[in-house]
Amino acid sequence: MSKKTYEERTDLEKLQSQWHKLSGLHTREEWSAAIVRAATAAEIAANYAIRTEFAEQSALTPDFVDSQLRWANGLAGKIDRLLIPLTARNKKRHKTIKALKVKAEAVNKKRNAIAHQGEFCSEEEARVTIATAHALITDLVQVYDSDFALKERNR
């Protein structure tokens, strides 16, 4: 049986792949790269949540939803421009998503410092940012899939 290409994977499979890759980078002490992967995994978790909201609330095509994900551009945009408005009618979800915004901002800020300013991060910065991303991802995905858990890489 052949392995699925990355493009053929679901959002949750992509998320898990990113987390697996992050674990390897962290083990090799590539702190900054591990943070970027953690932020990428968080953005994929947001994609999953947004796709789920659109599927529950509309009959919009996957191509249109993809165009909205590109338009929102990044973790902050996806939360602010799509996820918060999409959950406005579900008070419990809306409150949860708004509360997760603080974690998303922390992860995104560190990712942007690396990607846009060339910042290098320490082991402690990586540990804190990755833990924040882990909590963000878990809390966000569990809004839609209560059984979700990130699989940790065997070391």
pLDDT bracket for residue 2 (50, 70, 90) = low
pLDDT bracket for residue 155 (50, 70, 90) = very low
Quote the Cα angle for 8-41-104, to 5°: 140
Burial class (CB in 10 A: 0-12, 13-18, 19+), 124: exposed
The answer to whether position 154 is within a domain reads no
The answer to whether position 151 is within a domain reads no
The answer to whether position 42 is within a domain reads yes
Report the alpha-carbon distance of residue 20 to residue 142 in Å, rounded. Answer: 19
> Which of these, 19, 13, 96, 16, lies nearest to 53 by C-alpha position?
96
Which residues make Cβ contacts (< 8 Å) with residue 39, sequence separation at least 6? 75, 107, 108, 110, 111, 133
Judge whether residue 1 has pLDDT over 80: no
- Domain, as residue range, for 93: 11-142
The answer to whether position 3 is within a domain reads no
Question: What tens digit of pLDDT does each residue of 65-77 get?
Answer: 999 999 999 999 9
10 SS3 class: coil
Question: What tens digit of pLDDT does each residue of 51-95 get?
Answer: 999 999 999 999 999 999 999 999 999 999 999 999 999 999 999
- How many structural domains compose the chain? 1
The answer to whether position 152 is within a domain reads no
The answer to whether position 6 is within a domain reads no
The answer to whether position 112 is within a domain reads yes
The answer to whether position 106 is within a domain reads yes
Q: Say how far residue 143 (Cα) sits from the centre of its chain.
A: 13
Report the alpha-carbon distance of residue 115 to residue 109 in Å, rounded. Answer: 10
